[in-house]
Amino acid sequence: MRTLRTPEERFADLPDFPYEPRYAEVADGLRMAYVETGRADGPPVVLLHGEPTWSFLYRHVMRELAAAGLRAIAVDLVGFGRSDKPAERADHTYARHVEWTRALLFDALGLSGVTMVGQDWGGLIGLRIAGEHPERIARIVAANTGLPTGDIPMPELWHRFKDAVMNAPALDIARFVQSGCKTELSAAVRAAYDAPFPDESYKAAAKAMPGLVPITPDDPAAPANRAAWQVLTTLDRPFLVAFSDGDPITGGMGPVLKKSMAGAAGRAHPVIKGAGHFLQEDAGGELGRHIARFVTGT
C-alpha cells in the first residue's frame, strides 16, 4: 500500500491549535497522529472527527475538556490531518478504518474507561469500536452522526453530496468544510483545513469515504454495524446525543439514537442551536461544556 505523508511545514501557524503532534504505528508502517491536552491522569475523552476534517476541528472542544480536568485526545483518522494517507481509494475500507483507529486507541495508547465522542465518520467508526469493545468504554457522545446499516434509506441530499464528492476532479476541502458551517470561517481556519492536502493525490480518503457508508442491506459493512447496534442498544453506559439544529444530513438520526440507546434513556440531551453539520466549528465551546458536564456528572 503506497502512502503519502504531509510535510510538517504545512501545519505551521495553525490558529488556536498549539498542541504538539504525537504519533503511533498502527499497521505495517502506517502512522496515525493525535494530539492531547488536559490532565494526563484524567478520564480519557477520545474525539473522532469526520470527513474531510481533522483533529483541528476539536480545538475549542479540547479547551473546555482540559479546563474540566479531563484528558482530551483528538485523533487524525488515517488519510486526514497529520496521519499517513494511503494513496488509492481502494485502500480505504470501513473495516480498515475501524481497525486502524482501534489499534491506536487500545494497542498503542492502552486506553480504557474511554468516553467516545464521534461526529460524522468519527461516529461511524467510534460507535462501531464501542459496540465491538464495550469493556473499554465508559460513556458515548454522538454528535451529528449515526451508525447506518443500509436498512433505512439515506436522504436524497446525502446522495447528491456523495456523488459530488466522489466525482469531483478537484476537491476544495476548505469550501467543503465551510458549506457545513453556519459561521464564516476565517482565511487562517480555511487554510488549516487545506493544510493536510498539498495536492489532489493526498485526498484519496476524502474522496473515498462517502462511498464507504452502508446504503444497502447487503453492504459489506452492514452485518458488523447491525451487530454493534445490538450491543449498543442494550449497553448500560451513559449515552449523550448532542446534535445541532441545522444538519440536514444527520439530523434525523438524533431522535433515533435517543430512543434506541439504553444509556440515553431519561437523559437531558442538548440541541445546539445555530450550528451546522460541523458543530465543533460553529459552537465548539458549547459542545465542549456539554461533554465536560456529561463526563463529570456520570
Q: Is 277 a catalytic residue?
A: yes
**Catalytic residue, candidates 92, 277, 282, 290:** 277
Within 10 angstroms of residue 187's Cβ, the number of other Cβ atoms is 9
Q: Which grid coordinates belong to 286?
A: 458549547
Q: Is 282 a catalytic residue?
A: no
| DSSP 3-state of 46 | strand
**Catalytic residue, candidates 120, 219, 282, 290:** 120
Whether the CB-CB separation of 176 and 166 falls below 8 Å is answered with no
Q: Is 41 a catalytic residue?
A: no
Whether the CB-CB separation of 123 and 147 falls below 8 Å is answered with yes
Distances (CA, A) of 256 to 15, 149, 234, 243: 36, 13, 14, 12
Within 10 angstroms of residue 136's Cβ, the number of other Cβ atoms is 19
**Catalytic residue, candidates 84, 219, 247, 282:** 247
**CA atoms lying within 13 Å on the CB side of residue 200:** 8
Active site residues: 120, 247, 277
